[in-house]
Amino acid sequence: MGGIVYHDVTERKWAEKGLAGGVHGLIAVNDRAGGHAGPKSTAQLLDELGDLGVPLVCAGGVGDAAGFVAALRMGYAGVQMGTRFIATDECGAHADYKQAIVAATEADIVHTERVTGVPLAVIRTPYVERIGLKAGPIARWMLRGRRTKHWMRTIYALRSAWQLKRASLAGGAREATSKDYWQAGKSVAGIDRVEPAGAIVRRFAAAALSASGTAKTARPRE
C-alpha cells in the first residue's frame, strides 16, 4: 500500500508491459551492468524509453562520481549501482570478491550464458575461462523452447547458486580461484578502493550538486 514500483527493463517492450501493469518508473539496465546485463547502451535506452513519461533510472557502468554526474546530465533521473556497493565496508561479500572488483578493469568483465542461461556479467577468472561464455548446443536448443528454457535455466540456477554462494561468502584464494566467479559490471573501471557506503553517497551527491551549480552559473543571462 502506497509503495513506489520501479521496474527493471532492457528494452521498450518490457517497459510497455511494466507500464501497463502500473509501475511508477523504469530502471534501464544497459550493456555495462553487473548481473544480468541488457543488450543496449546507456544512450540507446534513453532514446528508446525517454518518451514514456515516467522517471528513468540508469543501471550499469557507473562506478565513480563523474559517471554518476554524466548519467544525470544525459537526462536520467537517477542511477542504480550494484558493483560499486559490493566494494564497501558494509557489504557482506568476501574480501577477495571486493578486491577482485577493485583490481578489475573494464576488459576483465565478460558475459557468460553458462551460469543462468542468459548473459551474466562476471569478472573473468580461471573458472569462467573453464566454463566458457556461450551455452552448449543442447543447452542452446533447450533455451529456445518455450517450456524447456525454464528447465534449462533451473538446471543452471541450481548448479550455480551453491558455487556463487561459496565464492562470494567463503572467498576463493584457498582453491586458487579455479572454481570462482564474481558478478560485476564495467563500472569496475571507476572503483579503486573499498570504502564505507556513506562516503560514496556523499561524494557522488556533492559532485552532482557542484555540477548543477556549474550548470546554473554557466546558463546564459536572459
Ligand X SMILES: Cc1cc2nc3c(=O)[nH]c(=O)nc-3n(C[C@H](O)[C@H](O)[C@H](O)COP(=O)(O)O)c2cc1C
* Residues near ligand X, by CB under 6 A: 8, 29, 32-35, 59-62, 80-84, 183-185, 187
Minimum Å gap between C-beta 141 and ligand X is 27
Q: Is the dihedral of CA 7, 10, 15, 16 positive or negative?
A: negative
C-alpha closest to that of 130 among 87, 97, 175: 175
Helices marked H in 41-172? 42-49, 65-74, 83-86, 95-103, 126-131, 137-144, 148-170
Q: Measure the CA–CA gap between 23 and 17, rounded to whole angstroms.
A: 9
Q: Measure the CA–CA gap between 99 and 141, rounded to whole angstroms.
A: 37
Minimum Å gap between C-beta 67 and ligand X is 9
Phi, psi of 42 (to 5 degrees): -55, -45
Helix (H) or strand (E) holding 111: strand 109-112
Q: What nine digits make up the cell of 130?
A: 573453464
Taking CB atoms, the residue at the shortest distance from ligand X is 82
Nearer to ligand X, 142 or 183 (CB): 183
Minimum Å gap between C-beta 10 and ligand X is 10
Nearer to ligand X, 57 or 135 (CB): 57
Minimum Å gap between C-beta 217 and ligand X is 31
Nearer to ligand X, 29 or 200 (CB): 29
Nearer to ligand X, 148 or 207 (CB): 207
Nearer to ligand X, 35 or 126 (CB): 35
Minimum Å gap between C-beta 207 and ligand X is 16
Identify how many contiguous H helices and E strands the chain contains and give both numbers: 9, 7
